[in-house]
Homo-oligomer: A and B are copies of this chain.
């Protein structure tokens, strides 16, 4: 069994990006500049956004963090987005989700200039992804493709079973892995809460992508020997024995499934750490496209 080490891989990617940024600067070019907008004081969101800003520093990007109060109106947020769309110094930006309930998230996503939408959430970018055109692929699916690529996990002709049909992970994963692309050409089955006989289906899988958000859902009896397992789930489970009072658990019963696996992502340290690296990669891409 080989661990798909997202922590190490994301660190490698950041090193590679840092080298590219250094080169840009040597050529007298501007470093990529990522802006992040956060509305309100949600602890998890703040932690995550701060990690993004810190990652920018590490690779030599410029970054701007725009903190807006919880009671910011939708109109004010849209006007902030408009400013970022038109700010020539900003190569890409993200609006940290979720937003307060009085703001229409879809409206906000639609307001971001697709050319600066490094989260890849705008319908135009989702459409380009579905059409296999150059675009910003959103961080989690992009990170999974990159992990499979760097560990040379064969996908062509393999049967991938995706559990979960979210717009963020399950749906794009199923689209991408079936396409004619380097990490792709797989036969893909997308499953979800309405699927009947799920176990019969997962038992056929060469690769399982578990992205349904139910802790330790995928058990050893559901997979065949030699399977590759990508665990996208991450749930906090109370655990008094831990300093923080909780531990992080994926959608896969790791201890038992790993014994049957060729490759498997740990939680934490698998898919999670890849997301920020891929956001940086998209921002670098946005910067280069503007040359």
Q: Is the CB of A133 within 8 A of B157?
A: no
Interface size range of chain A in the complex: 35 or more
Say yes or no for A185: interface residue by CB 8 A criterion: yes
Across the interface, A133 reaches (CB within 8 A) one of B123, B128, B194, namely B123
Residue of B nearest to A122 (CB): B127
What sequence of 0s and 1s flags, for each residue 151-162 of chain A, a beta carbon within 8 Å of any chain B beta carbon? Answer: 000001111000
Tell me if A38 is interfacial: C-beta within 8 Å of chain B: no
A2 on interface, CB distance cutoff 8 Å? no
Complex interface: chain B residues within 8 A of A156 (CB): 194
Q: Which residue of B lies closest to A170 (CB)?
A: B178
- Identical copies of this chain, number: 2
Tell whether, in the assembled complex, residue A171 and residue B165 are in contact, meaning their CB atoms are under 8 Å apart: no
Q: A125-B127, A128-B127 are in contact. Are A190 and B171 (CB under 8 A)?
A: no
| A235 interfacial by beta-carbon distance below 8 Å | no
Taking a contact as CB atoms under 8 Å apart, the answer to whether A179 and B194 are in contact is no
Q: Which residue of B lies closest to A128 (CB)?
A: B123
Contact of A130 among B126, B133, B186, B191 (CB under 8 A): B126
- A187: chain B residues within 8 A (beta carbon): 189-192, 194-196, 201
Cβ of A188 under 8 Å from chain B: yes
* Contact of A243 with B by CB under 8 A: no
Q: Give the complex CA separation of A192 and B177 in angstroms.
A: 12
Distance in Å: Cβ of A129 to nearest Cβ of chain B = 8
A219 interface residue (CB < 8 Å to B): no
Nearest CB in chain B: distance from A202 CB, A: 11
In the assembled complex, which residues on chain B have CB atoms less than 8 Å from the CB atom of A174?
174, 178, 188, 190
Residues of B near A180 (CB, < 8 A) are 165
Interface residues of A in 104-138 (CB under 8 A from B): 106, 122-133
On whether the beta carbons of B157 and A196 are closer than 8 Å, the reply is yes
Q: State the Cβ distance, A195 to closest chain B Cβ, in Å.
A: 4
Q: Measured between C-beta atoms, what is the minimum distance from A260 to chain B in Å?
A: 21
CB distance from A158 to the nearest CB of B (A): 8
Using CB atoms, name the residue of chain B closest to A206: B196
Instruction: Say yes or no: is A167 at the interface (Cβ < 8 Å to chain B).
Output: yes
Q: Please list the residues of chain A having a beta carbon within 8 angstroms of any beta carbon in chain B.
A: 106, 122-133, 156-159, 165, 167, 171-172, 174-175, 178-180, 185-192, 194-196, 201
> Can you report 10 residue pairs joining A to B where beta carbons are below 8 Å apart?
A123-B127, A123-B130, A126-B126, A127-B129, A156-B194, A171-B175, A185-B194, A187-B190, A187-B201, A189-B190
